[in-house]
Amino acid sequence: ACMKALGKWMLKHQLVFLTDFYLKYLGWSLNDKNASVRLEVLLALKTLTSSESHLAMMDTFIVRFRPRIAEMLRDVEADVVVEAIRLSAILHEHSELDPGHMNVVMSLLMDKNQTIRNTAARASKTLMPTLTEAYRKHRKISSKERVDAGEKQLQGIAQLMTELGDRNNGYAKAIDGLWGVYKVLEEPEMIAQTLMLDMSMEEAAILANILVLVIQKSVGEDIVKPNDLSASKTVSAKQRHASEIAHETITKKMSAIISDLLNKYQAEAEVVGPLVEVVRYVKLEHYSLSHLEHEFTALAEQVK
């Protein structure tokens, strides 16, 4: 309550209280043994740093306590970690943090706690331009080449997943967190069409994994713990209906291109593996209803 009140005074009477003399009490309390105190301090700092005029008055404080804020990304309390992520995102947006700090934030996309993963995903928005630039630079894509917002998002996400890796189901955890944050992940057809472009096999493997994961997510599957028998499998009628609609949409969008993708990457195991998984989500009756039995036969031959 004391730290909460101090934060309110600083916000209301900044000329008096928003000084290094009073800010140090907030900084010291970041080390408090009581998690609720640490949480209140982070909430107060998040409010204060949301204003550029306040940040200008807090530069000395931020430089001094920035390392402690980074340490709190590994706090034992999930609520504290969540607020440390949010504060980090604000500070990064105002260029107050080094890349190493945000790398720790991005690594939390792999955390076992879903709330932490989702918060880290939202924080990734401040880092996405840097990730997209790194992707394009590594692949020698000209900065003059125009791409739309969806392509930029996909490039940034691909770069992020490349950096995080797939250890301990890392790709699935990343997509699970990023789902709902980036619209491109709701457009599997666009991802599939991108795979038809010329690219390295490493890049294609990342995109193929993204494709199958977003499809699985769209039909309501638990991509982080797909084989967890202890989890409740109860599905409501509304969820079943949404899953059926998603299946229909995927079938319409994927049936026309999946055969071409399998043909293009037939010799690349790391790419074709995820693509074969995509076939599971294409309703096979689509081919008979559309009188496309010959396409089904060709697809079946490719999957074999």
Mean pLDDT value of segment 43-70: 86
Q: Which residue has the higher pLDDT, 37 or 3?
A: 37
Say what the pLDDT of residue 201 is: 92
Residue 263 has pLDDT above 80, yes or no: yes
Give one DSSP letter per residue of 112-171, joined into a string: S-HHHHHHHHHHGGGTHHHHHHHHHHHTT--TTS---HHHHHHHHHHHHHHHH-STTSHH
Residue 304 has pLDDT above 70, yes or no: no
Note the Cα 103 to chain centre separation in Å. Answer: 13
251 with 283: CB under 8 angstroms? Answer: yes
Mean pLDDT value of segment 215-243: 76
Q: Which residue has the higher pLDDT, 227 or 187?
A: 187
At 31-55, the pLDDT tens digits run 999 999 999 999 988 988 888 877 7
Split at pLDDT 50, 70, 90, the class of 237 is: confident
Residue 268 has pLDDT above 70, yes or no: yes
Residue 299 has pLDDT above 90, yes or no: no
At 153-210, the pLDDT tens digits run 999 999 999 999 988 889 999 999 999 999 999 999 999 999 999 999 999 999 999 9
Say what the pLDDT of residue 232 is: 52
Say what the pLDDT of residue 85 is: 96
Say what the pLDDT of residue 105 is: 94
Mean pLDDT value of segment 100-115: 91
Say what the pLDDT of residue 297 is: 52
Split at pLDDT 50, 70, 90, the class of 291 is: very low
Say what the pLDDT of residue 243 is: 83
**Dihedral (CA of 109, 185, 126, 18) sign:** negative
pTM: 0.81
Residue 226 has pLDDT above 90, yes or no: no
Residue 104 has pLDDT above 50, yes or no: yes
Say what the pLDDT of residue 98 is: 80
Residue 123 has pLDDT above 90, yes or no: yes
Helical (H) or strand (E) element with 200:
none
Residue 22 has pLDDT above 80, yes or no: no
The mean-pLDDT minimum among 69-78, 83-92, 212-221, 276-285 falls in 276-285
Residue 98, CA distances (Å) to 26, 94, 102, 113, 215 in order = 22, 11, 7, 25, 35
Say what the pLDDT of residue 1 is: 55
Q: What is the mean pLDDT of the chain?
A: 84
Short-list 114, 93, 111, CA closest to 102: 93
